[in-house]
Structure formats: C-alpha cells, structure tokens
Amino acid sequence: MRIKQIVIWLLLTSYLFALDATMEIIKNKSTLPTISYAISTDTQIEDNLDSKVLALVKKDLLVSGHFNNNDINVDNNYENIADYKTLKTNGIDLYLVLQLKKNPQDNSVVVNTKLYDVNANSLVLSKSYITSSIVRYPFLSHKIAIDINKYLKAPSIEWMDKFIIFSRYLDSKTSEIVVSDYTLTYQKVVVKGGLNIFPKWANKEQSEFYFTTYNYEKPTLVKQNLYTTKSEKILSSDGMIVCSDVSSDGTKLVVTMAPNSQPDIYIYDTINKLKTRITEYNGIDVGGSFVENDSKIVFVSDRLKYPNIFAKKIGQRGVERLIYHGRNNSQCSTSGDYIVYASRETDNEFGDNVFNLYLMSTYSDHVRRLTTNGRNQFPKFSSNGESILFIKNDTKSYLGIIRLNYNKSFLFPLKSGKLQSIDW
C-alpha cells in the first residue's frame, strides 16, 4: 500500500472516532507503513545516547499506532543516498537515519535526521534537533517522531512532547511533585519536602501548576511557576482541598473542599478571587471536572450509598446520575463530552482489588471498557482527547497510555516511589 492510501485510511479512522468515541476500532497492521532506522557511522556521542534516542523514536512511532517497525542491515553513512533497492526488497516504506554530535564548547547535543520515502525514491525530510541539556534527550526523540508522523499526515501525536506532572509517595508523610515526559525517561523534581499531592496544570502552556500541600496549618492549594519556582497560596480549608480541573481559559478551578467536615464541589474564580459552592449534599462529593464547554460539572458522589458518577449543570439545582454500571465508580476525568472513569470490580476486604477504566459519552448510554485487570486508576485525557493516561499500581507503579483509536495500551514503570496522582 502506498503512503497516500495509508494517509487516507488513517484520517478516516480518526474521523470515525470523532463521531463516537465508544466504538471499537481495530487497525489492520498490514495497512501501516513500515519504517526502518539506522544510526550514522560517523555519530560521535558517549553513554550510548545514540541508541537511547533511537529507542525512544521507535517507541513513539509504535505508540502512535501509525507505523510498523522493521530494522534491516543497509549502508548507514549519513552522507550517502539510501539504498532504495535493498529497502524495497525488504518491504520498507520509510527509512530514517540519525547522526548525533556533541558540541564540546557548551555540551549541547545535535541530532541530524534524514527521512527517505522509499516508494518515491526521495529524501523527504532533513532536519536538525538540538538540546542544551543531555538529560532532556527524550524530548528530542519525541519531536523527531512527531515530524515523521506529520510527513505521513496521520492524526497528531503532538501530545508526546508535553510534560507529565505527577506526585509520588516516598514515605507515609512524604511525597514530591515531578515533571517528566510521557515515558518517564526524563524526570525532574519540582516540589519536595513534606506531603505534596494532586498536581494539576494551571494552563495549556504548562508553565504553572496547582498542587495540594499539607505543610501548613491547614491543607492548602498552592500555585507554582514551573520555571521560576515562584509560588503563591490560593486557598486553604479544613479537612481537604484539591483542584481537580481547570477551565479551558484557565480562569476557573473546580475545587473539592471540606470546610464543614463534608467535602463538596466549588468553583473558584481566579480573577475575582471568589468561590461558588456547586454541591450541597450531606455526604461526599469530590473530584469534579468540567464538561460540555465548561457548562456542567461531572463529579463523584456517595448519594447512592456507594461511589458513582453524577453531573450538575452550573447554576441549576438538579443532579443527574450518569453511570448505571458497577457499584463503585470513582476518579472520573473529562474531555469535551466524554468521560473516563475508574470502577472497582471486586470487593476484597483483605487483599488488592481490581479497578478497571471505562469510557462513555454524556450523550450516549453506551459504555466502553478500556482495561481488563489490575489496579487502573486516576485516568486523564490527552489534550486532543484521543489518548488516556492512567496509573497502574500492582507490584510496582506504572504510568499507562491507552490509544483509544487503536485499542492499544502501553505501560512505563516508575523506578522509585509510588505514583499518587497525575496530569498532562
């Protein structure tokens, strides 16, 4: 199949998903373009950085769902033209050559790339990528994969270049906030000391974030700049305080607070510094998220004497039950009109329970199951709504990615600590 035909097919599946995110779409691997890779023989780099960069590019394209990987032995001198005959014989559609060099003056790393369209017998992409910090090499790999994907005109994977922010437990009363790439290969601690949990990005640019700290007299919601580390206290509350969502324009927060011992949902206006109580139930209302253009709040409540998902139109009194499946549904997240939530499937009093993730639309009662086993929790949508990030805690902690269009999931282990909550 030629590249143009593949592009049309990929765009069609993306369109179908946009119509109904709950439908099952299974891609036929034989329709995907096959890409092969090589590291140029004149690469000059230490610590196997060339292999690390290439390994992440391969992983990115695999996670994208738009490519098949197949390595073959061909001449890989960066200055030479690709061996089209050998590549075609081996069924290769695209061929990528990487050349890595380190600048001795400032220790920056440069990755030069050439991408060949084998069927067209042509060099279709030649680009250089640079980073001043070697530890940030994962983002070079992600940018390379994104540009290859763009050449194919496949559905965007630009979410790969975004930061993940998460809290990890180090001890019973000690946790830190960490920024990473989606594979957890790059990690940087941005808040440490004491108990710091529930990080949430404050804007689409990911320049600031909110988190809850227990380092003051009361639980306190703090906003911090990622680059300057400047922070400010936003709100404090007895019992608990958590920012679970931010409006699309960044001016309103969905906050769970418990000033009178029972947690309720509030909206906090960051411009006018005013908070509005949304729920007034003599029980538990937590974990609110905006939905339907920020006009409605979806949240978790024990109104049925067990956790379930409800919705309330902002400014109106009525509360709507959304989920009629399961008897312990919690930790919901939204994107547009879609909701992903965690559901406890077992009731084991003395051991681990199974938590699975489900997807539904606010305009449909059809529910799609996304996971099958283990403890899958804290789901979050990607910026384009086509992927879901989640935490899987079994014998160790994993960051999971579900590619909704392609019925594929991937797990990335956390090397130390235990994941508490995540956002991207």
pLDDT string in tens for the chain (424-residue length):
455 444 444 444 443 344 343 333 333 445 899 999 999 988 878 888 999 999 999 999 999 999 999 988 887 889 899 999 999 999 999 999 999 998 878 888 999 999 999 999 999 999 999 999 899 999 999 999 999 999 999 999 999 999 999 999 998 889 999 999 999 999 999 999 999 999 999 999 999 999 999 999 999 999 999 999 999 999 999 989 999 999 999 999 999 999 888 899 999 999 999 999 999 999 999 999 999 899 999 999 999 999 999 999 999 989 999 988 888 998 999 888 899 999 998 877 666 789 999 999 888 878 899 998 899 999 999 888 899 999 998 888 999 999 998 889 999 999 989 999 999 9
Q: Please classify residue 278 by burial: count the beta carbons closer than 10 Å to its beta carbon, then call 0-12 exposed, 13-18 middle and 19+ buried.
A: buried
Greatest C-alpha distance within the chain? 74
Q: What is the pTM of this model?
A: 0.88
Taking a C-beta distance cutoff of 8 angstroms, is the pair 285, 264 a contact? yes
Cβ–Cβ < 8 Å for 392, 361: no
How many CA atoms within 13 Å lie on the side-chain side of 296?
20
CATH code that applies to domain 32-158: 3.40.50.10070
Q: In this structure, which topology does domain 162-423 adopt according to CATH?
A: Neuraminidase (2.120.10)
Tokens, residue 137? 């090499």
CA nearest neighbour of 167 among 91, 233, 224 = 224
> Which residue ranges make up each domain of the chain?
32-158, 162-423
Please choose, from the candidates 202, 278, 198, 300, the residue with its C-alpha nearest in 3D space to the C-alpha of residue 247.
202
Bridge-partner residues for 65, per DSSP? none
For residue 123, give every residue at least 6 positions away whose Cβ sits within 8 Å of its Cβ, in sequence order, or none: 81, 82, 114, 115, 116
Nearest CA to 86 out of 97, 77, 95, 98 is that of 95
**pLDDT the model gives residue 22:** 34
199, two tokens: 């990080």
Which pLDDT belongs to residue 44? 79
- Helix/strand/coil for 77: coil
- 32-158 and 162-423: identical CATH topology: no
